[in-house]
Structure 1
Amino acid sequence: MSLESKIRSLKAHPLIQVLADNGGNPRTLVLIEPLWGVPYNLIAPFATLYMYTQGITDVQIGLILSVTMAVQVLFSFLGGILSDKLGRKFTTMMGDFFGWVLACLVWAVSNNFWLFLAAAILNCFEQINQTAWYCLLIEDARPKDLVGIYTWVNIGGLVAIFFAPLSGLFVRSYSIVPVVRVLYFLFALTMILKTLITFRFCHETKQGKIRRAETRGISVFHMLGEYRQLIPGMLKNRGVLKAVAVSVILYVTNMVSTNFFGLYVTQRLGLSENFLALFPILNAAVILIFMIGLQHRINATKFRIPLWIGLALYVVAALVLIFSPADRLGFVLLYVFIAAVAAALVNPRKDALLQLNITPQERARLNALIMASTVALSSPFGYLAGWLSSMDRRLPFVFTLLLFVTAMFVIGRIQEPQVEER
């Protein structure tokens, strides 16, 4: 095949077509996602050990998670209101600055429980960002392209993971604390750049302009009171409730995995800290291959079947990890491989499923309400996971296994959403 033919074939790929057909905000936000994804994924494997190495206990780690998740509930409610009053674009930039730039600067100098807690609370501004960012990403996009757009968002974050060996090499040479401090500082710099690009190349969405005009002159407290009218409608929508239930479960399981996987494989299974940079690479490689090579081929099966299969794979992965013998890298690699395939199936679809079940006219506040509900329902589980880990480091993953089984039951009762062609 000639080079010209390869280029034509690449341009014809469904994922490339998604970007070609959805310019403006979706394309800009997808392309700058690595500015967040690169530093985040460099730090993520070492974040918990960074705290643990400086004397933060399992229970204190769990307490930080639960306290900050409680704060996130308030910030989530404010996210919907600010997205309507200030616009999706400005609110996204504000959340990036306070939730990541300032938070990372505090993390970079943290050396005790209170500083880590302060950084985590600052990071709660990310909840304000999340509501606005999702609206900015998809409100002017074609509904039928949502799975493709969310696939690109996942790819944007995953590409960064291939830089992970650098952090592993630096940790081996200089130890974990100084390396992670520098990475947090670099994270702050990349998020400043991301904020500036958002300001220059993104535009306010059509729905954002409408909501900004409608809410002009209305107080924040009055808009908070209007949530009382939205809540009954959300509670009556079974499709939304089921999608929220799945989101809560996946939020909790991701929180447990992110914060306790590193401790489990190093403290119980006896693997070297240097391997923590290897696991995200394998995870990213599997997901990227799956998303680029297979994702578009299974879109015809809609949502329920791929979601159910992905959750079943998560169950298998949890079993592999729980029963992994000590000092056996192969079992942990198998766990990472299976969980990566599961993530490729589940993540883009659970996000798109939620957006397709909510009313576009109230997307910002409904997203905020759903996010607040997700965080509120998840908040006790941070402390619970820390407590379980303090007794036996396998127990948090036994807990996630039970949650995945519950999610499979919920997905089995979900009806396929109707997707418009616009």
Structure 2
Amino acid sequence: MVKIKAQIEQLIAAFKEINPNAKKILLFEPIFTIPYAMFIIYSSLYMTRLGVKDYQIGLLSTILNLVMLVTSPFAGILVNRFGRKKVLLIGDFLAWCVYAYIFFFAKSFVWFLIATIFNGLMRISELAWRLLLMEDATENERVAIYSVTVFVWNMGNLFAPLMGVLVAKYGLIAATKGTVLVFGILVNILIVVRHLITLESSVGQKLVEENNNGDSHKFSEWLESVKYMIKNKDLLLIVLVVIFGNVALIFRDTYKNIYLSEGLNYPDDIISLFPTLWSIVTLIFIIFLIPKLKEKNHDTILLWGMLFITVSNALILVTKPGAFGFFLMIVVTIIGAIGAAIYYSFVDAILANSVDDQRRAHVLSISMFLISLFSMPVGAIAGQCYSFSKLLPFVLATFFTLLCIILIYQKIRRKKNFSSKESHDF
């Protein structure tokens, strides 16, 4: 009990030490994460109950990534031109509030298509959010910031059983419809309050002034950052890990809940228990182990995280209906949660620490562009794969996480070789 108290106090201390913007943003983030985690669990099933076909759900995922692909190059330009705060306010309203309201009124595929287009604008506000979160922070502070971020995000999933209760009582359609409406209203309140209490980052202030006094907002600066990324091999490797990790996530999560319902025959209200277990494991891991890991070699820790995710993905392939299969899915969830806790605590920090302040907005917007470019066809491919074989999306998810392991290992080897060469030269 004393140890638990000490670990929680350590997490609270880490939260207090991070920069004021990150502290304020993360303090209010549960207003977003709780209702979002509740309605997103059943969003795919909800759409199928309203007549959307399985392959159309994959198509919506592709369209979402297409919109993100088109808007990503403008994200870095907009946040440097108008500032992180202003872009975050407007971007979140369009990408989340308008999306939620359209989703509430949706009656067919066309409605969900329009909602998806608005949701695709999230790349612009996401960049502004990430910059406000971790600018003006040291390298180790960024690991603490992203650990707390993962902690806060997973708090939302603790309320997933409540969604299961609502589904059992009111039915899937009514429960999802009510939850998405509450989500839209709460996010509306959140973005206004957050805008009022946060400050523009020092880097953001400097870049806004420079852009207002010149023409550095043009695409030439974006293209220069592309060249910078290509020359910086370590940066390129971590960007590729982020890209392929996201591809694996789409293959796994787009049809995971549908597979639990159709492939493993779990009742609707039981499905919500798995995100809850995932979050409990993640929160425990962040409280007790992440603080001890942040001083270790970040690349090596990231490799272990991806190994856990890969094992979790692979185990889905051997899970069958029945009691043993249910137990195995619990194991899948626990291992995946540990891997994800490590991965998301470190990967963004490693990426942010791999680039200087002046280039960070453009490099992150380029990485988001590449994520959308590679992810764009994945939803549709996943849909066709699921139609062909319910397990094929999870085979591909495992393949891409294995690819990430190889890339992280290459990054570790490069760093070791570089260190050995420096020692030899010395």
For the superposition of Structure 1 and Structure 2, which TM-score range results when normalised by the shorter chain? over 0.9
Partners in 2 of 1:162 and 1:349 — Cα distance?
A: 23
Tell me which residue corresponds to 2:145: 149
Aligned to 1:94, which of 90, 93, 102? 90
Partners in 2 of 1:128 and 1:197 — Cα distance?
A: 19
Partners in 1 of 2:101 and 2:380 — Cα distance?
A: 25
Equivalent residue runs for 1:3-18 within 5 Å: 9=6, 13=10, 15-18=11-14
The unaligned stretches of length 5 or more in structure 1 are none
Tell me which residue corresponds to 1:193: 189
Tell me which residue corresponds to 1:257: 252
Aligned to 1:271, which of 266, 284, 287? 266
Q: Which deviates the most, 392-401 or 248-257?
A: 248-257
Q: Is the 8 A contact 2:252 2:313 kept in 1?
A: no
Tell me which residue corresponds to 2:421: none
Tell me which residue corresponds to 1:398: 395
Partners in 2 of 1:259 and 1:248 — Cα distance?
A: 16
Partners in 2 of 1:225 and 1:131 — Cα distance?
A: 19
Report the alpha carbon displacement of residue 6 of structure 1 after superposing the two structures with TM: 9.1
Q: Is the 8 A contact 2:96 2:184 kept in 1?
A: yes
Aligned residues: 413
Tell me which residue corresponds to 1:229: 224
Instruction: Give a deviation string over 1:101-152, Cα, whole Å, max 9, x none.
Output: 1100001111211111110110112110111111101111222211110010
Q: Is the 8 A contact 2:75 2:124 kept in 1?
A: yes
Partners in 1 of 2:347 and 2:162 — Cα distance?
A: 32
* AA partner of residue 361 (structure 1): Q
Q: Is the 8 A contact 1:107 1:116 kept in 2?
A: yes
Equivalent residue runs for 1:17-416 within 5 Å: 17-216=13-212, 223-327=218-322, 328-415=325-412
Q: Is the 8 A contact 1:286 1:340 kept in 2?
A: yes
Partners in 2 of 1:258 and 1:191 — Cα distance?
A: 24
Partners in 2 of 1:11 and 1:169 — Cα distance?
A: 30
Partners in 1 of 2:313 and 2:76 — Cα distance?
A: 35
CA distance 1:204–1:45, shift in 2 (3 Å): same
Q: Which deviates the most, 389-398 or 298-307?
A: 298-307
- 1:226 alignment partner, SS class: helix
Report the alpha carbon displacement of residue 10 of structure 1 after superposing the two structures with TM: 6.2
Q: Is the 8 A contact 2:41 2:272 kept in 1?
A: yes
CA distance 1:323–1:367, shift in 2 (3 Å): same
- 1:414 alignment partner, SS class: helix
Taking structure 2 as the reference length, the TM-score comes to 0.93
Q: Is the 8 A contact 1:99 1:122 kept in 2?
A: yes
* AA partner of residue 350 (structure 2): L
Taking structure 1 as the reference length, the TM-score comes to 0.93
Partners in 2 of 1:225 and 1:113 — Cα distance?
A: 39
Report the alpha carbon displacement of residue 365 of structure 1 after superposing the two structures with TM: 1.6
Q: Is the 8 A contact 1:169 1:274 kept in 2?
A: yes
Partners in 2 of 1:134 and 1:398 — Cα distance?
A: 31
Partners in 2 of 1:166 and 1:290 — Cα distance?
A: 23
Q: Is the 8 A contact 1:44 1:258 kept in 2?
A: no
- 2:410 alignment partner, SS class: coil
Q: Which deviates the most, 186-195 or 324-333?
A: 324-333
Report the alpha carbon displacement of residue 319 of structure 1 after superposing the two structures with TM: 2.1
Partners in 1 of 2:361 and 2:380 — Cα distance?
A: 30
* AA partner of residue 393 (structure 2): P
- 1:129 alignment partner, SS class: helix
Report the alpha carbon displacement of residue 241 of structure 1 after superposing the two structures with TM: 0.9
- 1:300 alignment partner, SS class: coil
- 2:321 alignment partner, SS class: coil
Partners in 1 of 2:95 and 2:214 — Cα distance?
A: 26
CA distance 1:359–1:274, shift in 2 (3 Å): same
Q: Is the 8 A contact 1:89 1:198 kept in 2?
A: no
Q: Is the 8 A contact 1:279 1:336 kept in 2?
A: yes
Instruction: Give a deviation string over 1:295-318, Cα, whole Å, max 9, x none.
Output: 112223222222222222222212
- 1:269 alignment partner, SS class: coil
Identity %: 25
